[in-house]
Structure 1
């Protein structure tokens, strides 16, 4: 920690050493910004690609200003959801896996072949993959969360909504800001930005940040902290304004994340996990999930390197303003994890990807003051993706499997012994589940997409405005795979092991033949030979009797020697191995296009603006770039069709002395929702026939007295699967039992009419801020926040009893501003009541056999607190 202590001391020295010169956004402006945020006075947003006040823009949008971001200690988009209830952000098993949803819709986490339904834009640049960080940005001007499809203006992958992050531009007056935060878990977060002119028409802003924190999980096996922070970033922002009609902004940034992440806790230790414990290895205590102790035999590691450059040109050509935004980004994401989450070395996962993205946007917006205004534009994206992973069995995998199947001399060794009679390549005790066996996935994807969009507003009267928009979107993805399986056991067709058919039934060990005879098997049905499906589930159709001595306990129609559940790769597939593509039947190319529309009517009643709208959205088809990717005739399927969104919305925006009240009521439907369920080792990417949600959103603020500001927001959602007959099967659902004929588990189940998981019924946030002028040039504030999410089943791949949680978060901050020396001191805390909840749950990897299986989850962040010093100049 010595170098971080030195850095902290240096930052403190900088804070006190910088001169108290003129500024553009110091503590005095912070108080003004707070008032603006609380009363909605003149909050300028660009949600419609042109500047409007928040109360005038006739769409559902939530805006979080710079003051709220600072006072609420919002450091990334995960924190942002505490003040925007309709936004949900989750980070799962790696630092780069962040999932966004708005109004309950969102997907794309973890599967590189599917992009999010919520688009993230930073200074107008689309981020196709985001680690959800705000710390690597300089001063944030505002964050806009646009709810509902935004295709007619943003074009790219905004079928559920968009997050638009706007940073402060370089200034032509010298100024800047430096801050440092220290807190529990060894937090040390230092940031600084400086801006000013370097020529008469040229200004620059230079920014940097360092974010260090110990982990709030403890790996009991290695003694290492998990979920730590180790991030730094630099950014240069240059603004050239040669005339009042022309500006050019160039931004370059570089950021690096190297962290031990992420913590996973067992929430149910089924028979497989108990078997690991019986072997003497450490396993999690499921009665103490929120002690945040984890059991990994190796520490998880993450490395994310992102860099990019963008250029924006704004040129007033008289009748219109021309804007061009050009950007190139390159991101590398690497991680390594122990995926059995125990002290045994059973399996590990190493993943890496590199994403190169070029985007270009042009738009032309009218500048006249007449009743008719318009905007037209186009967007182009070219992206190249290389992604892959290696899952390998560890040195304890065979001992684990033996423990599940009768010990070292049990079923696995028995299978090897029988096979060795006709296949000398099979060596008992040394063929299956050996260290280093597993699977290697490699995929390459080239994506080209473009959109043409336009929108027009016509003021019929001073009060009545009609709006129409249209967009054409076109997308093409070309994918190739190179998946190599090196797991000989998963390669077996347990329902037809040909060599067994040559072995006399009488030659079987009595432990096998005696059991089969006891359960009613007739050797004459196989001409006195060993059945080829001796170790497959389909043999159960020939076993009418229940288990009893000398049989293991089993129901009638069940083969107690079935080993299908141990085929971790392609086990429930007619072809027990990967089918790479392109091939003779699959081109590896996915194309699509769509025209989307938006229509809106808005009426100004002075203190109330009312509007009604109809809009459609579209997101292109996606490829499943995981081990669950199968040819259409061989299981779940390779790709998903596009999403098509329709939204009916009506709302009002009331502005009154000291505050505002905004209400939006909507019905949103998505045809072909791209469900991307994590199944333990891969992703089941399928389309739901139709998913819909009805609900409303409220945003309000009121300042009853100069010293008191109140805010509140609430989202109510009533979702339903109108049609979902191809939902991925899960082991706990009786509808997914293995077939006694084929031995395979069905790939799908029908969830039509059921409530989708992961969508809370109620999400509510509220805040109160007390402010007081202590003396001339010294003022203080006290802010409290409450964030509530009603009980919600987190995921459909885990039993509801294990995955249903609510959330009650209390955050607070107390700050003092010394305006004469432009210094802020703030004490803050998040999750002060130590509310415990899981963020998500999933079937534990390689521990679904035998049942009852095991499940794991991601606990939320514990209570954090600290002190922040901020110096402006």
Structure 2
């Protein structure tokens, strides 16, 4: 397989096999579009591979002229590749990865191997998403099906100088089509397997001579491709609807006002999770008669949930953009307000037993304002000045509750209904009549409730200037001041009685005579060498704690539980699912006497570039810095400072050295960028099985290169491609989350029965980053008559094998990708009609998207299988 990967990579490079990040340079005319507005460049110019227009530097420039590593995906590519959302976009931009995990709104964007924020509302993404210049502060807010668009730009590397504080790894900028002063529109419908039906429509036209509109809407419905063997329901369905109204007021070519309102609703049964390894605890559930996953059939896409997961995500917003040409400069103002509600209900033990369930919800309100002034000078000097402000309120929380089978699950691990938990309850009842043996610990409804509020204010002031020293040499300098303030409040309530218990000093045990113990326990303790005289003839207060092991010098043997010397066979610490590693065995909410709940930071970032035009080749070198503000760990895994995993993470500081060549030639282009990118204080957010371990890595870096190319050797053949090579490294990371499978760096503490919080990963390769990623596509086109033409598009996406996460053993979660997509289309020019047959994952490539330690089942691991083969028919009519 390694040989195949090397051969594939070499073949891709030799074919100019670089990310299909630009457009299909097909000879076939693009699908008919409505006429452009008076202030918008024509779609024809944008679809030309010789003149791809981008706004990566906040002004319109040719892709080949802008000295930034940027990939551009056109509307033609999006339509022909059946790209329906940003998750699909990664198939044509290899440097972009977009995993979706256990909920519809739990999505993360990663560029050049960097990205975080998934699953924790206190952590903003390192990759910013902008739709028509409006910043979307949470990844889940960008999941709506893509509207009628002009292009999607993926900017690689830190963009803090022009885009603000949360683009330390890159930015995704989506530009939608503006309203037109000529009547037009488009309607399409896609049907496919798994019951897919996806109608979309847009209409645009004038209201008056100075006022135009565009109205767009879509519905996306599909059955799930997983089946829940417990309930019979289909999982991972699609049920989405969106509507968007766009008004353009343009009294002259020098002044325009654009107002956009949108609403989207997602109600889905998502997401499919299957066991990839069943450890002792999962096997105990199976032994109790409940269904568990068959780990030999991971890609049968069957799941075992006792209840079906439910998701509801609602987003709505309004934005206004003013563009005013003042002569010497253009003034742009973008004002936006958005609300998002995200709710989910999930079975988190992923078995047929009702062990535990998780209900999460958040409500996020965001106001943003950007103002910038861009020079109009045709001389050697050009400049841009601007400012950005964001205010956000986040109300988020979760409830984890034990189900009706929790006691059966725990009893199966501790000796049955009359086992250790019953013995503990019986001993405690002798001094506390309120404790009822058999129903005090681990009963339905117990668990934990997390509630958090976060208020955030941030602003930036930025500027950039270009100076042409000669007609060929241009130097660029940029500077930005970023400021961020977050204020958070927690209200965490723990009502899991067993987790609240200090097993090293259980109330009431120390006053009971040793003879009160069941013979099965007292006999084993004596066999292992326990001396009752050390506790004055009474029951040891740490009878069920790991620390008793120091008083048991002998090994356990039949009829006692088998156990090594120095280990307490009756220790129950591992069943304290919440705060078992906290001295207080309970949450400490904030603000409090020592914690203000306020996180403040600011930073000056800058960029410097030099670009030289050799004629057919443009070359550039650049040095840039980026910054991402500090983050709160809004999960019950957070602890007060210096007590385990902290409340917060410090900011990320990014530096990038980059050099690039952009060659333009007849029929195509060839772009290459070589870089070294370093993040100091990378905000690692590892899921450990019950919560998130938010810590700063000392330093993480990546070296690599990216190639983008398009070539049309003959009139009927267009080639596009891209390759990304990444060589990442933890230069310093001493606080990585510990995992049970890494017994060398995470040995069990015999006094607590727990593993340490942290391990040292310095010098190792970060997970989740493939060494090689590539995407190549070819389009063959043919004209049958002046009004009828056809095209055949094929696409191959490749990713070398890599470990998905560092909290799961490498042997269980190392996967690559060999994915083939294709489409066959017919265009009827007179009727302005297009019919397209399409297929994604043609060869049924199987892979895991991600993996994680199974919740509350130490030693077990679960994963997310990818989407199977999907296919269908799209009919598209323009008018």
User: What TM-score, normalized by structure 2, do the two folds share?
Assistant: 0.95
Out of 842, 853, 861, which is 1:855 matched to?
861
Partners of 1:136 and 1:208 within 8 A in 2: no
Whether 1:468 and 2:477 are equivalent positions in the alignment is yes
Q: Distance in 2 between matches of 1:680 and 1:740?
A: 21
1:246-292, Cα deviation, whole Å (9 max, x unpaired): 00000000000011011100111111111111111111111111110
522-531 or 91-100: which moved more? 522-531
Q: Secondary structure at the match of 2:427?
A: helix
Q: Secondary structure at the match of 1:583?
A: coil
Partners of 1:75 and 1:133 within 8 A in 2: no
**What residue is the counterpart of 1:728 in the other structure?**
737
- Cα drift, residue 24 of structure 1: 2.6
Q: Distance in 1 between matches of 2:657 and 2:142?
A: 32
Aligned residue runs from structure 1 range 388-787, under 5 A: 388-734=397-743, 735-787=745-797
Q: Distance in 2 between matches of 1:22 and 1:648?
A: 40
Q: Distance in 1 between matches of 2:215 and 2:703?
A: 45
Whether 1:831 and 2:841 are equivalent positions in the alignment is yes
Partners of 2:50 and 2:669 within 8 A in 1: no
1:527-556, Cα deviation, whole Å (9 max, x unpaired): 322222111112222223222123211222
Partners of 1:573 and 1:744 within 8 A in 2: no
Partners of 1:150 and 1:161 within 8 A in 2: yes
Partners of 1:493 and 1:576 within 8 A in 2: yes
**What residue is the counterpart of 2:11 in the other structure?**
none
Q: Distance in 2 between matches of 1:409 and 1:558?
A: 22
**What residue is the counterpart of 2:185 in the other structure?**
176
User: Structure 1: 5+ residue runs without aligned partners?
Assistant: 1-19
Q: Distance in 1 between matches of 2:853 and 2:533?
A: 41
- Cα drift, residue 678 of structure 1: 1.1
- Cα drift, residue 476 of structure 1: 0.3
Aligned residue runs from structure 1 range 186-335, under 5 A: 186-335=195-344
**What residue is the counterpart of 1:846 in the other structure?**
856
Partners of 2:473 and 2:612 within 8 A in 1: yes
- Cα drift, residue 32 of structure 1: 8.5
Partners of 2:686 and 2:807 within 8 A in 1: yes
Partners of 1:140 and 1:168 within 8 A in 2: yes
Q: Distance in 1 between matches of 2:528 and 2:709?
A: 69
Partners of 1:237 and 1:250 within 8 A in 2: yes
Q: Distance in 2 between matches of 1:669 and 1:395?
A: 49
307-316 or 537-546: which moved more? 537-546
Out of 96, 107, 115, which is 2:124 matched to?
115
Partners of 2:815 and 2:847 within 8 A in 1: yes
Q: 1:789 to 1:136 in 2, by over 3 A?
A: closer
- Cα drift, residue 129 of structure 1: 1.4
1:669-696, Cα deviation, whole Å (9 max, x unpaired): 0000000111222111110011011111
**What residue is the counterpart of 1:16 in the other structure?**
none
Q: Distance in 2 between matches of 1:574 and 1:746?
A: 14
**What residue is the counterpart of 2:808 in the other structure?**
798
- CA RMSD across the alignment: 1.6
Q: Secondary structure at the match of 1:553?
A: coil
**What residue is the counterpart of 2:85 in the other structure?**
76
- Cα drift, residue 422 of structure 1: 1.6
Q: Distance in 1 between matches of 2:144 and 2:395?
A: 27
Partners of 1:677 and 1:728 within 8 A in 2: yes
Partners of 1:471 and 1:596 within 8 A in 2: yes
- Cα drift, residue 22 of structure 1: 9.1
Greater length-normalized contact order (CA 8 Å, ≥ 6 residues apart): 2
Out of 856, 859, 865, which is 2:871 matched to?
865
**What residue is the counterpart of 2:15 in the other structure?**
none
Q: Distance in 2 between matches of 1:189 and 1:620?
A: 39
Q: Secondary structure at the match of 2:570?
A: coil
1:457-481, Cα deviation, whole Å (9 max, x unpaired): 0000000000000110000000001
**What residue is the counterpart of 1:63 in the other structure?**
72
Partners of 2:311 and 2:345 within 8 A in 1: yes
- Cα drift, residue 425 of structure 1: 1.9
253-262 or 493-502: which moved more? 493-502
1:807-852, Cα deviation, whole Å (9 max, x unpaired): 111000000000011000000000000000001111111111xxxx
1:567-593, Cα deviation, whole Å (9 max, x unpaired): 111111222011111000100000000
**What residue is the counterpart of 2:35 in the other structure?**
24
Q: Secondary structure at the match of 1:70?
A: helix
- Cα drift, residue 358 of structure 1: 0.1
Q: Secondary structure at the match of 2:443?
A: coil
Q: Distance in 1 between matches of 2:97 and 2:36?
A: 30
Q: Distance in 2 between matches of 1:136 and 1:810?
A: 22
631-640 or 249-258: which moved more? 631-640
Partners of 1:150 and 1:617 within 8 A in 2: yes
**What residue is the counterpart of 1:387 in the other structure?**
396
Q: Secondary structure at the match of 2:140?
A: coil
Partners of 1:574 and 1:635 within 8 A in 2: no
Q: Distance in 1 between matches of 2:596 and 2:165?
A: 24
- Cα drift, residue 156 of structure 1: 3.0
- Cα drift, residue 721 of structure 1: 0.6
Q: 1:23 to 1:360 in 2, by over 3 A?
A: closer
Q: 1:64 to 1:132 in 2, by over 3 A?
A: farther
Q: Distance in 2 between matches of 1:290 and 1:138?
A: 32
Partners of 1:263 and 1:858 within 8 A in 2: yes
Q: Secondary structure at the match of 1:91?
A: coil
- Cα drift, residue 312 of structure 1: 0.2
- Cα drift, residue 133 of structure 1: 5.3
Out of 167, 187, 195, which is 1:158 matched to?
167
Out of 60, 65, 85, which is 2:94 matched to?
85
Partners of 1:327 and 1:360 within 8 A in 2: yes
Q: Distance in 2 between matches of 1:477 and 1:109?
A: 19
Partners of 1:473 and 1:594 within 8 A in 2: yes
- Cα drift, residue 420 of structure 1: 1.1
**What residue is the counterpart of 2:16 in the other structure?**
none
Q: How many residues align?
A: 844
Partners of 1:696 and 1:717 within 8 A in 2: yes
